[in-house]
Amino acid sequence: MPILIDANTKVICQGITGSYGGQHAKGCFLYGTKLVGGVTPGKGGQKFAIDDHASVPVFDTVAQAVRETGATATMIFVPPAGAADAILEAADAGLRVICAITEGVPVNDMIKARAVLDDLNAARPESDRITLVGPNCPGVITPGPKSGTGDKSSDPYTKSGCKIGIMPGYIHTHLSESKLGKSVGIVSRSGTLTYEAVWQTSNLGLAQSTCVGIGGDPIRGLNHTDCIRLFESDPATDAILMIGEIGGTDEILAAEYVKKHVKKPVAAFIAGRTAPPGKRMGHAGAIIGGTEDTADAKIAALKAASVEVAMSPADMGQAVMRAMRVAVSA
Amino acid sequence: MKVHEYQARELLVSFGIPVPPSMVIERIEDAREAFAQSTLGMPKPLAVVKAQVHAGGRGKAGFVKLVKSATEAEDAARFMLTHRMVSPQTGPEGLEVKKLLVASAVDIAHEFYLAITTDRMSRRNVLIASREGGVEIEQVAHDRPEAILKEPLHPTLGLQPFAARKIAFQLGFKGKQVAQAVNVMMALAKLFEAKDCSLAEINPLVLTPPDDANPPHADGRVVAIDAKFNFDDNGLFRHPDLQRIAEASESEEDPSEVRAHKAGLSYIALEGNIGCLVNGAGLAMATMDIIQLHGGKPANFLDVGGSASEQAVTEAFKIILSDHAVKGVLVNIFGGIMRCDVIAQGIVNAAKEVGFKVPLVVRLEGTNVEAGRKLLESAKANIPTLQPATDLADAARKVCAAVA
């Protein structure tokens, strides 16, 4: 069982009638995701066509969509002004996995939405909690073995995978297709850099259990540590690759967590070692952020936690291999 | 986006935060009137003339001047409006000064620091205050962290009056000063939220000496002298007033960065000679990193984003090539939302419109990669400097070799 989502996860798309929402709802369906419907207020009752042979129903509200389809997960393409509201609507309707793809959500909106989710979760047992991924993220994928072209609804790319997001499906590898018979769980703040990492691990003969793009915004749902904790207890994950970048202290906290709690091999890459400082940070922010924001500080913390750090982005896949060899010989 | 001091003052005033009387002028001949207006009723008129430029080091460069008379104000204005300001932050060519702020000088009993910013770790906005204002707050935080007070704002209710009172008493405000300080804090919190700030900073927040002749100010007045704001770019869409300030300040920014911004591209000019065109901020940073690992120097950070059109991609190339230091270009695309064929078409168009005289190394992977490669293959004759790369390391190697 991989983390967060699997082949049985039923998914809806909020903002399915928008151009990106529509394009990626199709992409997920053709990958093989059980995409069961979409939501656009005012367009309830319409059908969203995947192609000439398949369509999914559109609902006015998420509550309605959940009632009619039994969905447990959503991907959100609602524009920034309404994205936080869409997250709260999904939570209110009882969805468990909320992937907010939308880029450009105001930080103050996310502070409020995240606080409401935290309050909801505090009152629930762990098994019943809501997981927010993103916003400003590529989403989550649990790859399945390739069984079709993925070109039309009658011939999906896989029959036992789940893709909730905008990542290209074909770069991923399922365990049954992996030469080395090992799966890596990948967590990343970046979209395209995640694809790069997936591609490298696939080309080395590794599979991916689940890949989570947690997003690049300062206030978000899942963080690195949350994902690493899930991967550590996931029997389908043999090794963990974490991709971070400059800014914030998420990677430092993750390094501390790895040091204390993680037995599986862990590799990492931190982007932005050569980025010029001070482009985004104001004075008061620097007080709180401190010097832990730099790539070098993060790399040092990860190395201190015995994480195998790739110094080049071309070396992410090899870093996973080294981490696994070290684990075997230890 | 940067906000001038006078614009920051206007924001403070519109939320009810007291500032000393002031006037903004653009002409030397208005300096006398501005001095008279801002010092009205002062027994010993004293004002400060400050150049409104987006750079620090004004005081040392002579662009902040204390003046005691209308004539002195006029002299200061003449100097500032007819000289370029050169400071360590401006570079040797300096900055032209177009606007001056003439503000009443204030007697200072004590200087405080007050700010609100977003703390990523606690996922809260936080009020930060210190009795040690008027100086570099980073230095205070470094040397004496206990001198910095922090109070998280409630995520949905915002700053509560009790929390502001607590900070006011901890800062040492007494008597009638307390309510004034609380009002400033509450107003700053309201402003922060209403304008989607990422930083709202008053430094210094000043307490004036007691004024026995004026009963409401018998314990002194709490006045904001200087303020600094940063805004959350994601919130800008709901603030037309800030968009206007942003547009007005564009004329003082790097023209390439402005041009990129208009095309929906994220671009930062750097010192090197290898132009980069990448999709995704993380991959763009990683591409800069790998260029340096191979001994090269990136000329820019450029993220075309997830949904760039052919036109935006073509514009991106024009911006990169307009930097004359660029001796080679690296395109690194891993298509997700971004389709490789769109990038390829952008390259073909740019080749037609501006031409690639410098080496161009292209690495494409991801969505529609086959269509993208075919497009480039068929356009090869028109782009003689084009070299395809098989992966990230190959791309970095090739571009660094090409410019070496």
What is the secondary structure of A198-266 as a DSSP string?
HHHHHHTT-EEEEEEE--S-SS-SS-HHHHHHHHHT-TT-SEEEEEEESSSSHHHHHHHHHHHH--S-E
Q: How far is CA A250 from CA A164, A253, B57, in A?
A: 24, 5, 34
Res. A285: pLDDT tops 70:
no
Lowest average pLDDT, out of B67-81, B244-258, B326-340, goes to: B244-258
B228: chain A residues, CB-CB within 8 Å: 282-283
- Rounded to whole angstroms, the Cα distance separating B228 from B5 reads 7
Coil/strand/helix, residue A56: strand
* HSE-up of residue B151 (Cα within 13 Å, Cβ side): 23
According to the model, what pLDDT value does residue A330 have? 60
DSSP output for A171-202: G---GGG-SS--EEEEEES-SHHHHHHHHHHH
The shortest C-alpha distance from A57 to chain B (Å) reads: 24
pLDDT range class, residue A290, cuts 50, 70, 90? low
CB A187 within 8 A of CB A209: no
- Rounded to whole angstroms, the Cα distance separating A246 from A265 reads 23
pLDDT range class, residue A161, cuts 50, 70, 90? very high
- Determine whether the interchain pair A115/B156 forms a contact, defined as Cβ–Cβ distance below 8 Å: yes
According to the model, what pLDDT value does residue A287 have? 30
User: What are the residue ranges of CATH 3.30.470.20 in chain B?
Assistant: 110-242
- Rounded to whole angstroms, the Cα distance separating B404 from B402 reads 6
- Determine whether the interchain pair A288/B126 forms a contact, defined as Cβ–Cβ distance below 8 Å: yes
Q: Which residues contact A288 (CB under 8 A, 6 or more apart)?
A: B117, B119, B120, B121, B126, B128
CB A241 within 8 A of CB A316: yes
pLDDT range class, residue A273, cuts 50, 70, 90? confident
Q: ipTM of this model?
A: 0.90
- Rounded to whole angstroms, the Cα distance separating A215 from B391 reads 24
According to the model, what pLDDT value does residue B92 have? 83
pLDDT range class, residue B252, cuts 50, 70, 90? low
According to the model, what pLDDT value does residue A127 have? 87
Catalytic residue among B151, B201, B267, B315: B201
B370 part of the active site: no
pLDDT, tens digit (0-9, with 9 covering 90-100), for B194-221: 999 999 999 999 999 998 888 878 899 9
**Rounded to two decimals, what is the model's pTM?**
0.91
- Determine whether the interchain pair B117/A24 forms a contact, defined as Cβ–Cβ distance below 8 Å: no
Amino acid occupying residue A92: D
Percent of chain B with pLDDT over 90: 66
User: What is the average pLDDT value for chain A, to the nearest integer?
Assistant: 92
Question: Which CATH code fits B21-104?
Answer: 3.30.1490.20
B136 part of the active site: no
User: What are the residue ranges of CATH 3.30.1490.20 in chain B?
Assistant: 21-104
Catalytic residue among B6, B113, B151, B315: B113
Question: Which CATH code fits B110-242?
Answer: 3.30.470.20
According to the model, what pLDDT value does residue A281 have? 26
According to the model, what pLDDT value does residue B103 have? 96
Lowest average pLDDT, out of A175-179, A274-278, B181-185, B234-238, goes to: A274-278
What's the CA dihedral at B40, B46, B51, B54 to 10 degrees? -90
The shortest C-alpha distance from B286 to chain A (Å) reads: 5
**Nearest of A206, A247, A253, A194 to residue A228 by alpha carbon:** A253
Percent of chain B with pLDDT over 70: 99
* A158 or B2, higher pLDDT: A158
* Homologous superfamily assigned to B255-403: Succinyl-CoA synthetase domains (3.40.50.261)
pLDDT range class, residue B64, cuts 50, 70, 90? very high
The shortest C-alpha distance from A216 to chain B (Å) reads: 9
- Rounded to whole angstroms, the Cα distance separating B295 from B32 reads 58
- Rounded to whole angstroms, the Cα distance separating B374 from B364 reads 11
Provide mean pLDDT across the span B224-240: 92
pLDDT, tens digit (0-9, with 9 covering 90-100), for A32-71: 999 999 999 999 999 999 999 999 999 999 999 999 999 9
pLDDT, tens digit (0-9, with 9 covering 90-100), for A23-34: 999 999 999 999
Lowest average pLDDT, out of A89-93, A129-133, B255-259, goes to: B255-259
Q: Which residues contact B368 (CB under 8 A, 6 or more apart)?
A: B335, B339, B340, B341, B342
* A328 or B107, higher pLDDT: B107
Res. A212: pLDDT tops 80:
yes
According to the model, what pLDDT value does residue B265 have? 87
According to the model, what pLDDT value does residue A1 have? 59
Provide mean pLDDT across the span B114-142: 90
Provide mean pLDDT across the span A274-279: 71
